[in-house]
Structures are given as structure tokens and as C-alpha cells.
Amino acid sequence: MMAYKDIVPIGTSLIIGSTCFGLGIIYGNWPYDLNTLWIHDIPEAFDASLRHYQQWGNSPMYVHYTLHAVGLLGLIGHFIKLYKPDEDAKYFEYGSLGLFMVGVVIYLTNLRTGVNSCLVGQWGDVDYQTGINVMAASQVMIIFVLLGVLLLQGGLYYAQWYDNKLKEEFYRQEAKEAALAAESQAQQEHDIATKGKKDKAQPQGEVIEEVTSATTTTGAASATKGQKKTTKKRKS
């Protein structure tokens, strides 16, 4: 059975994948939004952009469902990582989810509504050119929030990598110090054992010396006594 920590990378992959997919969708609209929001000297730019979004709106429903499913996968990835968030990095996860939700809300309220307005031709109190520029500006905001999601996920990955690196260095240093302490203790025990053997051998040597000295003294005394007896006999 997979542990929770084994599922967390899957959540990260879902977040990054869905975020990059959303950025790719916006990149496909960039050539049209560029000529309406940033460049104002192309008369037919608004008509081209209008036809582009009308084609997007008239696409088969599975095209739209695909985009919504990918966004749902991104939310699932966030919920996976927030099920048991790391206490040191949970604010990265909350911030990432918040930015992702901001992007989803902008899409539903501005971009999706704008596409429907392109289809029905009703823009409320503004003309279609202003409405198209609102859609373009909304996509710029989505770009910033999705880049923020990627930035937070990258920062979270770096923070965890750096924390693991510090822990590895700490454990390696502790293991090295423990090995040196064990070696020093073994050396001390060896010195104590060697000293104990020397202390045991030294009294035996002293006993042998004392016995030898006593034997020599006894022999000398016996010799002296023998000489005295010989001298007495000669005198007699």
C-alpha cells in the first residue's frame, strides 16, 4: 500500500501539469489579444479576435470539458498536498491553492462569459471591442496568477530540497562524531586493559626479585656460618 508521502509527488505533478496546460491555452490566444490590447493600429484586429473566440465557443463540448477536467485535476493535486500539509511549508500550499482559485474565478466570470457574449452578440453596457479587451486583460491576470502557482511550487520544492540537504549534512556530521567517539572510547579501553596487564605483571616480577634476593641472602648467611665453623675447628 502506498504511503501518503508517495502520493504527494503525484499531487505536485497534477498542479504543475494543469497550470502549464492553462498557460498553453492562453498562449494560443496571445496573437489575437496582442493586436487588440497592446497594438491599436490594426483595424481588423478586433474582428479577427471576435471570430477566434466565436470559433472557440462553437467548438464541440468535449473541447471545453477537457479544459475543465484539467482544471479539476489541478484542484485535486492541491487537495492531495493539503490533506496532510508539512507544517514548515503549508503556507506555500495555501498560497498556491488561493492563486489557482483566483485563476479559475477569472476564467469563469470574465473569459467564459466573454466567449458566450461573442456567440450571442450581447455585451451589456459596453461595445464588443471593450468586451474583447476585457477578455484579453483577464487572460493577462490569469497568466500572473498561474505563474505565481508555478513560483510557489518551485519555491516549495527548493525549500524541501534545501531542508533535506541540511538534515543529511547534520546526520552525516553526527555519524562522524559518533564514529570518532566510539574510536576514542575503544582506544581508552585498550589503554586501560594494557595498563591493567602491566600492573598485574609488575607484582609478580617484584615477588621473583624478593625470592631471588632472599635466596641469595640465605646462601650468603649459610656460607658465612660454614666459614665460622671451619675457623673454630682449626683453632681447636
pLDDT in tens, 107-155: 999 999 999 999 998 898 889 999 999 999 999 999 999 999 999 999 8
Nearest one of 223, 224, 92 to 148, comparing CA atoms? 92
Average confidence (pLDDT) over 173-180: 86
Would you place residue 182 in the very low, low, confident or very high pLDDT band (cuts 50, 70, 90)? confident
Q: In the block, which residue shows the cell 493577462?
A: 140
Measured CA to CA, the distance from residue 153 to residue 170 in angstroms comes to: 26
Q: What is the pLDDT of residue 203?
A: 56
Q: Which residue has the higher pLDDT, 214 or 32?
A: 32
DSSP classification of residue 124 = T
Confidence at residue 235, expressed as pLDDT on a 0 to 100 scale: 47
pTM of the model: 0.72
pLDDT at 61 over 90: yes
Mean pLDDT lowest among 18-27, 50-59, 153-162: 153-162
Residue 65 binned pLDDT confidence (cut-offs 50, 70, 90): very high
Percent of the chain at pLDDT > 90 equals: 49
What span, in angstroms and rounded, lies between the C-alpha atoms of 36 and 138? 13
Indicate the burial class of 22 (C-beta count within 10 angstroms; 0-12, 13-18, 19 or more).
buried
> What is the chain's percent helix, strand, coil content, to nearest 5?
90, 0, 10
